[in-house]
Amino acid sequence: MHKSLYLVLLCLLLSIVSLAQTKPDYSKITLVIHGGAGTITRENMTPEKEKAYREKLNEALQVGYAVLIKGGSSLDAVEATVKVMEDSPLFNAGKGAVFTNEEKNEMDAAIMDGKSLKAGSIASVTIIKNPITAARAVMEKSEHVMMIGAGAEKFAKTQNIELVDPSYFRTETRYEQLQKIKHKEKTQLDHDGGTGSTENIFTEGNKFGTVGAVALDAYGNLAAATSTGGMTNKRYGRVGDVPIIGAGTYADNSSCAVSATGHGEYFMRAVVAHDIAAMIKYKKYSVKKAAEEVVMKKLVDFGGEGGVIALDRNGNYAMPFNSAGMYRGVIKNGKAEVFIYKE
Ligand code: ASP
């Protein structure tokens, strides 16, 4: 055969292969979300409260799925989904964030793109309406991965990201939660003469209402996003696991996307999100086996309470938690499901 004919055939073959790679596959698109884990039981829930949570989780799923079904990216889907929950006072992220010991709302957020392994995160911000949007801007519009405090806010301003007065984030429910914890802390310290540990008080009755989303788009790309107000009564400068890439947030097309919620100190030390991804990548574990191994064994041994959502490139997902409950949901083939308790 003539040499140029070979070349033509080769080019044809290459374009067919690349076409097949870019052809969207809508059958696998999946979105999994969480709205925090913790002491969430039927006993301390009212029908009205449960309805409000179910409706908001469902709305978040629908908003993200609408992006995916139109051929939008997993990054756009997780950002849009998390924004719905940040804007709701029900969750500990954006409006409704918990209070620090100094009675402020200080937020952390992170986003990661499983295709490029690019990531962006912000910590300890107080005036950014949607922290997840600022985290994405760090990833896409800066040279950096993480920005904190006043610097992150200055950067957000340059990106025309919506800023608000700190009072926007305040909710009375969260303020009362702080007062209760502070009161208990004081009582215990008075009782122990200042020598006792207050670690349990830090978490007691805590509902880790952090929000997160992981998505798989029609092009086979994974993304993860997490946003939080952190832990009630946290001390000055405390940053949790959420904005630490590999601890509370991680995404890699070659393994999975993970978003976590729980007592951040343990999640950081256990490097939860990356550990799950590593088990899938190196040990060929299924997403379910890997997520359960870390949440139900490693974290339990550490004494860390909480859960994760994890999703792989084939649309397999897991939502394990070792706490009483976890607000969570999934949408796949147009069917949305929302869960709260250990059903
Ligand atoms: N993981 C978060 C933190 O420690 C808290 C949460 O999940 O609600 O900051």
Q: What pLDDT, on the 0 to 100 scale, is given for residue 9?
A: 73
* Closest atom of ligand 1 to CA, residue 210: 8
> What is the C-alpha separation between 224 and 112, in angstroms, rounded?
5
**How far, in Å, CA of 36 to CA of 107, rounded?**
15
d(CA 69, CA 6): 39
Beta bridge partners of 45: none
Ligand 1 binding pocket mutation candidate from 82, 232, 242 (most atoms within 8 A of CB):
242
Q: DSSP label at 8?
A: H
Average pLDDT over residues 206-234: 94
- The answer to whether residue 184 sits within a structural domain is yes
Which atom of ligand 1 is found nearest the CA of 248?
Answer: 1
* Residue owning tokens 């899938």: 280
Q: Can you tell me whether residue 264 is helix, strand or coil?
A: helix
One DSSP character per residue, 19-88 reads: HHHHS--TTS-EEEEEEEEES--STT--HHHHHHHHHHHHHHHHHHHHHHHTT--HHHHHHHHHHHHHTS
Contact 139, 118 (CB under 8 A): yes
133 is catalytic: no
Residues 48 and 162 in one domain: no
pLDDT of res. 198: 47
Please give the Cα distance from 229 to 178 (Å, whole number): 13
Assess whether 98 and 161 both reside in one domain.
Answer: yes
Least confident of 55-69, 103-117, 197-211, 226-240: 197-211
Q: Which of 100, 203, 210, 232 is catalytic?
A: 210
* Mutate which of 208, 227, 234, 322 for ligand 1 pocket (most atoms within 8 A of beta carbon): 208
Q: pLDDT tens, 267-305? A: 999 999 999 999 999 999 999 999 999 999 999 999 999
* Closest atom of ligand 1 relative to the 108 alpha carbon: 9
* Mean pLDDT, range 126-133, rounded to an integer: 98
Residues 67 and 150 occupy one common structural domain: no
Do 332 and 193 belong together in one domain? no
Chain centre to alpha carbon of residue 45? 23
Counted residue by residue, the chain has a size of 343
Please, which residues bridge with residue 163 across strands? 128
Q: What average pLDDT does this structure show over 142-155?
A: 98
Kindly state whether residues 107 and 191 are assigned to the same domain.
yes
The boundaries of the domain holding residue 49 are 33-72+291-343
Confidence of residue 20 (pLDDT cuts 50, 70, 90): low
For atom 9 of ligand 1, the residue with the nearest CA is: 230
Tell me the pLDDT band of 15, cut-offs 50, 70 and 90.
low
138 and 238 assigned to the same domain? yes
Examine the domain organization and report whether 182 and 236 are in the same domain.
Answer: yes
| Best probe residue, ligand 1, of 261, 272, 323 (max atoms within 8 Å of C-beta) | 261
Same domain, 236 and 198: yes
SS3 content of the chain, % helix, strand, coil (to 5): 40, 20, 35
At 111, which helix (H) or strand (E)? strand 107-113
Cα 323 to Cα 343: distance, rounded to the nearest angstrom: 13
- CA atoms within 13 A of residue 316's CA, in its CB half-sphere: 13
Q: How far is the CA of 116 from the centre of ligand 1 (A)?
A: 26
| Cα separation, 200 vs 205, whole angstroms | 9
Distance 46 CA to ligand 1 centre (A): 24
Q: 106 pLDDT band (50/70/90 cuts)?
A: very high
Claim to verify: residue 246 and residue 303 sit in the same structural domain: no
Output the residue whose Cα is nearest ligand 1's atom 5. Answer: 230
Ligand 1 shell residues, CB under 6 Å: 36, 92, 208-210, 228, 230-231, 240-242, 248, 261-264, 267
The answer to whether the beta carbons of residues 317 and 335 sit under 8 Å apart is: no
Whole-number Å distance between alpha carbons of 59 and 88: 11
250 with 117, same domain?
yes
Residues 149-203 have pLDDT tens digits of 999 999 999 999 999 999 999 999 999 999 999 998 888 766 665 554 445 445 5
% of the chain beyond a pLDDT of 90: 84
Average pLDDT, rounded, for the chain? 92
How many angstroms separate the alpha carbon of residue 260 from the centre of ligand 1?
A: 8
Q: Is 168 in the same domain as 199?
A: yes
Q: CB under 8 Å to 6, separation ≥6 — which residues?
A: none
Split at pLDDT 50, 70, 90, the class of 11 is low
234 and 329, same structural domain?
no
Q: Is residue 308 one of the residues assigned to a domain? A: yes
Separation of CA 7 from chain center: 48
Specify the number of domains making up the chain. Answer: 2
As given in the structure block, the two tokens for residue 138 are: 């760090």
Q: What is the pLDDT of residue 18?
A: 58
